[in-house]
Amino acid sequence: MSDLDFRTYWDNALSWDNYLNREVQKHEEMWRGVYARSIVPDWALERGAEIGGDWKLLVISEDWCGDAFNTVPVMARLAEVLPSVQIRIVKRDENLELMDQFLTGGSRSIPLAIVLRPDFSVAGRWGPRPPELQEFVMSEKQAALRPADEIYRDVRRWYAKDRGESTLRQLLDVMAAG
């Protein structure tokens, strides 16, 4: 990891409320809809309590990203119900130095949650989508047999069926390992 000052990124990042209400311009209905429907299940609350500690989710996002509006609201709900978790959002295109430290296969893929400890050291990362979904998308793109809009229709169905559970499970795994 480079010598990035994660405390400064955190201090300059947007709260979830500011991001949702002031920054989200594209797909606002989707952002608000996913947020309104997001519920943190009991198993996630129990696991979060077992893990304990204090965690900061520094999320790299942009409002145009479909994976972001399907996962970041779920992360925000987790931070609302678990006192040990806080969330802040930075815009990818305004923070390329940060983004470039967390590339996915050489790509600036978002959303990306950087899990920080209380001292602002990096415990781990999550993103840009749950691994099983990422594997599906990458294999579909590589096969090049279907248009992107068909692939992303399947992605939206996957997210709707999953209801954020994979994202929560994997974020909690990062915290438990950190």
Structure confidence by residue, pLDDT tens digits, 31-49: 999 999 999 999 999 999 9
Residue-range domain boundaries for the chain: 6-128+164-177
How far separated are the first and last CA of the chain, in Å rounded? 15
Using the structure block, give the residue that is written with the tokens 């940060």.
98
Q: What is the pLDDT of residue 79?
A: 97
126 to 60, 74, 81, 112, 162: CA distances (angstroms): 10, 13, 19, 6, 17
Give pLDDT, residue 36.
Answer: 96
Collect all residues with Cβ–Cβ distance below 8 Å to 103 and sequence separation of at least 6. 109
Helix (H) or strand (E) holding 56: strand 55-61
pLDDT tens figures, 78-91: 999 999 999 999 99
Return the closest-CA partner of residue 4 out of 91, 114, 141.
114
**Which element (helix H / strand E) includes 125?**
strand 122-126
Q: How many CB atoms lie within 10 A of CB 159?
A: 22
Over 70: is that where the pLDDT of 52 sits?
A: yes
The pLDDT, as a whole number, for residue 75 is: 98
CA–CA distance, 97 with 95 (Å, rounded to integer):
6
Q: What is the mean pLDDT of the chain?
A: 94
Provide the whole-model pTM.
Answer: 0.93
Query: Is the predicted pLDDT of residue 105 greater than 60, yes or no?
Result: yes
**Could you tell me which CATH class the domain 6-128+164-177 is placed in?**
alpha beta
Q: In 34-53, which positions are buried (b, 16+ CB within 10 angstroms) versus exposed (e)?
A: bbeebebeeebeebbeebee
What single letter denotes the amino acid at residue 68? A
Inform me whether the pLDDT recorded for 2 exceeds 70: no
pLDDT tens-digit profile of 128-159? 999 889 888 888 888 888 888 888 899 999 99
- Residue 111: pLDDT band with limits 50, 70, 90: very high
pLDDT of 1 strictly over 80: no
Amino acid 159: pLDDT: 94
